[in-house]
Amino acid sequence: VKNGDFDVYTEIYDQFRRRCIKAADNPVLAQALDNIYEKTQVLIRRIIILPGRGEIGVREHRAVLEAMRRGDADAAERLRRENIRNAKAFLTRYMKYVL
């Protein structure tokens, strides 16, 4: 992210996402999340190029992962929701420039 290599960032993010889905071992959930991801990829790619958002996203995803490693599902969910809200705030702020 610091070097602006957003292709690598999105590739690693997708690996992280897939590992989480696989660990859940829930085919119905996997299908639903894949459908959502398919529809939001364009926005995700636009959001990560916004000033500072990629670095913030990395920190937020690391916090989610740490909560998952601790087995703290409530914290992981809260942090993931916060990540989505923050990404939405960035998109709202820069919407006229990226959409």
CA dihedral of residues 84, 88, 89, 93 (deg, nearest 10): 160
Q: Is the pLDDT of residue 99 over 80?
A: no
Model confidence at 25: pLDDT above 90: yes
Backbone angles phi, psi at 45, to 5 degrees: -65, -35
Q: For residues 25 and 5, what is the distance between their CA atoms, to the nearest angstrom?
A: 31
Q: Give tens-digit pLDDT for 53-97.
A: 999 999 999 999 999 999 999 999 999 999 999 999 999 999 888
6, 49 Cβ separation under 8 angstroms: yes
DSSP conformation letters of 16-28: HHHHHHHHHT-HH
The helix/strand/coil state of 50 is: coil
Q: Where does the pLDDT of residue 2 fall: very low under 50, low under 70, confident under 90, or very high at 90 and above?
A: confident
**Cβ burial, residue 49 (10 Å; 0-12/13-18/19+):** middle
88 vs 2, higher pLDDT? 88
